Amino acid sequence: MDQAAFTGVVGGVYENSPWVADNTFADNSKPFESITALHAAMADVVDSASEEKKLELINAHPDLAGKAALADELTEESKEEQAKAGLNTLSKEELENFTKMNEDYKAKFGFVFILAVRNATKYTILKSFEARLKNTRMKEFEECITQIHKIAWMRLLTILEPADTGFLTCHVLDTASGKPANDMAITLKRISGSGQLGVIGSFVTNADGRLTSGRALSGRQEFTVGVYEWTFEVGDYFAKEGAKLAGTPFLTSVPLVFGIDNPEDHYHVPLLCSPYGYSTYRGS
């Protein structure tokens, strides 16, 4: 693939700024093995650019629910993202509120407000406006670049196929007894994203507290960007263990809702539990 073809594919990832793709191609002689590697290289081009070039990049973005949107002058990428956040269906009062927030922000900082809105709501956007108006100009400048990288990442995921490297694992620890939770039933649901929705897997933990199958999901066909939910049958487990439980157990089924943002990564989503509490974290 030559530079023109490369920029033709990913040139719109950074809003109205094909120079990012051009420079990424020029700086890298080998093909990228993953979306993660490509995004990192493009982000490096932006991060190493001058402050003037970064400001140009920030201001290449449209206001959220601004004049460009009303005049149907958005890029296709921005149009889709703003629509997903419901910004194309604002009431008159909501539109006035967004207009005021945009104007207040630009008056204070001298550039447009940037937020990766693909998975946001009108409420979260307005709350972000309110919180970030309290920041310094330097902090906001940095935050805008961070948000632009997030936008670029999500755009890359819509146009390129991820590497076949991502997978999901789990581990359950019985913190009341200080041991792995053996023979606990778990179900996995996909709440949103590509692929089958609803229950997509049923599992039982082994003596090490891990899934007998090892991986719950693996590869780009199964392990896709989206929102998922583990459901752990902790009540049944502690009953089998002879734990002291109330007549109506405090915990029966424990749901954990989590998001997968990078389908090329290993996501380890465990449960640490007792009859009266639980916690989790993102591991790898």
Six token digits for residue 150:
């997030």
96 φ/ψ angles, rounded to the nearest 5 degrees: -65, -40
- Catalytic annotation, pick one of 61, 149, 266, 268: 61
Six token digits for residue 250:
């405090």
Q: Does residue 39 have an active-site annotation?
A: no
Tell me the C-alpha to C-alpha distance, in Å, between residue 126 and each of 27, 115, 142, 231.
38, 11, 19, 33
- Is the distance from CB of 148 to CB of 14 less than 8 angstroms? yes
Q: Which residues contact 244 (CB under 8 A, 6 or more apart)?
A: 275
Tell me the C-alpha to C-alpha distance, in Å, between residue 56 and each of 14, 16, 60, 243.
11, 10, 6, 62
Category of 72 on φ-ψ map: left (φ > 0), alpha (ψ -120 to 50) or beta: left
Q: Which residues are catalytic?
A: 61
